[in-house]
Amino acid sequence: MEREYEGVAAVVDAISAASGKHVGGYGHSHGGIVAFGAAMLTRNIRKLVLYEGWPVPDPSIYALRPDVVMRMEKLLDEDDRDGVIEALFRSSEEVSDAEMAMLRSVPSWLVRVAAAHTVTREVEGETEAD
């Protein structure tokens, strides 16, 4: 997680240096956590909007069960990225078949599938006790 914070802070600092201005940021879900962490590392963020990403008092409630993590890792080994994202939604959001079909129909599904290899690492990072 620290590397992600540092990466975002470095981008913010580069943009600020090139423009001579402070930067505004927006983070959603995991991106909200990363944006907040980056904001702690730079003075170049003027405004920050976080949506569904602010750390909760007990992050362990978002932890994936070990069997789900094992299933997701097996799906990754089989290069079934779509299956990884389905497993995430089925286990953490308890979505129905109709909801899953709707999720698959939106453009963001392909972005989620492309980033499937990051899911277990991100959830693990978000749910670790500090």
Cα 127 versus chain centre, distance: 12
List of residues 6+ apart from 81 with CB closer than 8 A: 75, 113, 114, 116, 117
- Phi first, then psi, for residue 70 (nearest 5°) are -60, -40
What CA–CA distance (Å, rounded) separates 3 from 41? 11
DSSP state of 29: T
Against a cut of 0.75, is the pTM above it?
Answer: no
Q: Select from 58, 50, 17 the least CA-distant residue to 34.
A: 50
| Predicted pLDDT of residue 130 | 47
Per-residue pLDDT of the chain (130 residues; tens, 9 = 90+): 888 899 999 999 999 999 999 999 999 888 888 899 999 999 999 999 998 766 666 777 778 888 999 999 999 999 999 999 999 999 877 889 999 999 999 999 999 999 999 888 887 777 764 4
User: Are 4 and 34 contacting, i.e. CB atoms less than 8 angstroms apart?
Assistant: yes
Cα 58 versus chain centre, distance: 17
Domain-by-domain residue ranges, the chain?
A: 2-51, 59-127
| Predicted pLDDT of residue 13 | 97
3 state SS of 50: strand
